[in-house]
Amino acid sequence: MLRSVQSECWNQGLKFGPWETKPYPGSTAQRLEESEIATPDFIILEAERKADWPMIIHQLWADGDDDIPTATVTNLDEHGIPGYFDPIIEAGWHCLTECYIQDNPNATPERMEFQAGQVGFDKKKVQPVLGLHGGLTLLDYAEWLHYPGWSVWSAEYVL
């Protein structure tokens, strides 16, 4: 099943990989990476709660074994905790910022990119995730579609 999903993603010019909102050891990201079933093109682990860190630490150990790009997706709510993101910054992870203006009008791509830089992420590794829920569409984000590498959550709202 996963191989067919992976193949269809590739046929459509899309990348295939998990986005773990509640990462934990033994979760989809870990099982995919350790299996021969399907190799992900990327792994995204959410970093918003202390409970997310066991899987993130596991992934940091696993990162030396492969070339799978890894990122965290975050609203940066933990940005006030000194050193919170240091392990993944030092490992070269990308930062996907939750730019969900319907949840937080201040979470624009510019502000989230600035905030990510304040905690130490390289600006070249920060990409906005535009929130398409709560009635918003890509038209609501038109002024930010020039940002390189933007993506959407959740894709079912695009259709």
Percent of the chain with pLDDT over 70: 81
pLDDT for res 156: 58
Question: What is the per-residue pLDDT across 120-158, written as a single tens digit (0 to 9) for each?
Answer: 999 999 999 999 888 888 899 999 998 888 888 876 555
pLDDT for res 63: 56
- Measured CA to CA, the distance from residue 118 to residue 137 in angstroms comes to 29
Using DSSP's 3-state secondary structure scheme, residue 59 falls into: helix
Which tokens in the block code for residue 4? 């067919």
Question: What is the per-residue pLDDT across 63-95, written as a single tens digit (0 to 9) for each?
Answer: 554 678 889 899 888 766 778 888 889 888 999
pLDDT for res 154: 74
> Rounded to 5 degrees, what are φ and ψ at 65?
-90, -10
pLDDT for res 61: 63
- Residue with tokens 């919170």, as numbered in its chain: 84
Using DSSP's 3-state secondary structure scheme, residue 65 falls into: helix
- Measured CA to CA, the distance from residue 88 to residue 90 in angstroms comes to 5
